[in-house]
Every structure is written in C-alpha cells, then in structure tokens.
Amino acid sequence: MVHAFVMAKTEAGTSEALQAEIERMDAVEEAHVVAGEWDIIAEVDAPEVHDVLGASSSGIQRLEGVLDTKTYISMSE
C-alpha cells in the first residue's frame, strides 16, 4: 500500500466545496481545508504508486477550481 499526501491550491471561495468533492474520491481517505501555502491537504491510500498518480493527476488536478497540486509519498507507514 502506498500512502501519500496531495496538497492543492484552489480558487478563492472554492475550498470547502472542493474538499467535499475530493473526499468522495476512491483513494482519498481524508481531505482537510488548511491555512497556509496550500488550501487543501488530501490523504491518499492506494495499492501502487501509479494509483496515487491517478488520484492526483486524473482526479484532484482535473477538478474545476484546483489551480495547482503537489504530491508527497510517505516514506514510512
């Protein structure tokens, strides 16, 4: 299992709606609106690295209102 965190920058006023949409994605365990450089942090669990890529690039990045993402793969369990 691959554990990762996907940070997302969003358009102003869209974070809460996007958080709910992100949380409904299959590989996403949790998503939180946060203060700081990024607007949302999503926790992803997937069987393989390419599944994390799919959740990030084919899922979160394609949502209307998402401006940028950065994915961090966890090195520990």
In the chain the domains, ranked by start, together with CATH numbers, are 2-73 (3.30.70.920)
Angle at 15 between CA 14 and CA 17, to 5 degrees: 70
pLDDT mean over 49-76: 95
**Percent of the chain clearing pLDDT 90 (strictly above):** 97
Q: Is the per-residue pLDDT at 66 higher than 90?
A: yes
pLDDT band for position 68 (cuts 50, 70, 90): very high
Binned at pLDDT 50, 70 and 90, residue 76 comes out as confident
Contact 27, 73 (CB under 8 A): no
pLDDT in tens, 20-52: 999 999 999 999 999 999 999 999 999 999 999
- Average per-residue pLDDT in the chain? 96
DSSP annotation string for 15-46? HHHHHHHHHTSTTEEEEEE-SSS-SEEEEEEE
